[in-house]
Amino acid sequence: MSTLDLTEAMEPLRAMLAADGYALEVSRGADGRTIVLDVTATGDACADCLAPPAVIAAVARNCVPDDSPLAGGEIDVRLPASSGSGSH
């Protein structure tokens, strides 16, 4: 699955985060098997609305097609530093 396809697959997650004022950048980790989700706050971000990393990872996991080589793989969620939550 290319990064472009992966970005398309994560569109439901992107929409969920955007509703609370967050942007999402999707990439693959250096190992080529990890999905990296960089969540950043926009000017309209609701700090109390941001889901925890485990929830974001679960939604992302559901976005990956079952036949993808990335299905069931590691998902690294990187939240804004001010969110108070660590990465998954």
Question: Residues 43-69: pLDDT tens digits?
Answer: 999 989 999 999 999 999 999 999 988
Distance CA 21, CA 65 (A): 26
Rounded Cα distance, 15 and 39, in Å: 12
Question: Would you give the end-to-end CA distance of the chain in angstroms?
Answer: 22
pTM of the entire predicted model: 0.86
For the chain, the domains span 3-83
Q: How many CB atoms lie within 10 A of CB 10?
A: 21
How large is the average pLDDT for residues 12-21?
97
Residue 39 phi/psi, 5-degree rounding, is: -100, 130
How would CATH label the architecture of 3-83? 2-Layer Sandwich (3.30)
